[in-house]
Amino acid sequence: MKLISNTEADWLIIGPVLQKRADDKLPPFGPEWKVFPNMRASGNVLLFSSGYMVKLAQWWSKWKAATGFEYKPGSAMCESGTKVLLGHIHESLLPFRGEGRVPQETIDAARGEGVSIPESRLGDFTPGAYEIRVRIPRGVSLNGVTDGGHSTPLLLTEEPDGRQTAQVFEWQNERWRDWEDAVKDGVELVDAID
């Protein structure tokens, strides 16, 4: 877990979008284009480790099996699944908010799973977890959706080599996909909700 500024976090999401516009020799966005309104409660944003991303995908698989939730492109279930996944993330971070020591039962449970977590709370932060709304051009695939609008989770990560990336969740195969690659393929960001 690592904290970065909300400006750095925003750049992980909108940087690839702006680079794609430049690569395609499109005019810059006008002043009315603003994905992130200034309404965050914190200036710090939490990056997730690649290990957390693996654990989250495993949780998702178990949750789907337990509930019978089956995402299908065109089913309009993308918003529901996104909210469930993001809700789980927010709930899992409660022991790390505020000041003082992380509850011992949280530390013990993590150790029991072979996971290293901070023993002190992280203070005030916003999780680097977003619901993004995107437009997908015909012939481009994101989560099996190939034409139209889509909602999917996007998480900000710190890779083992220290690189900071944004990853979108591929519902159908329970894998993470690099946001920058999705944008290069033609996925268009419409909105991001933190």
Compute the 3-state secondary structure of the chain and give helix, strand, coil in percent, each to the nearest 5. 35, 30, 35
Residue whose C-alpha is closest to residue 110's, from 128, 125, 124, 93: 93
Q: Where are the domains of the chain?
A: 2-28+37-193
**Predicted TM-score (pTM) of this structure:** 0.84
Q: Give, for all 194 residues of the chain, the pLDDT tens digit.
A: 788 887 888 888 888 888 888 888 877 777 666 666 554 556 788 999 888 888 899 999 999 999 988 877 667 788 888 999 999 999 999 999 999 999 999 999 988 887 788 899 998 888 999 999 898 888 888 877 777 788 889 999 999 999 999 999 877 678 889 999 999 999 999 888 87
Q: String of b and e for 79-109 (b: at least 16 CB within 10 Å)?
A: eebbebbbeebeeebebbbeeeebeeebbee
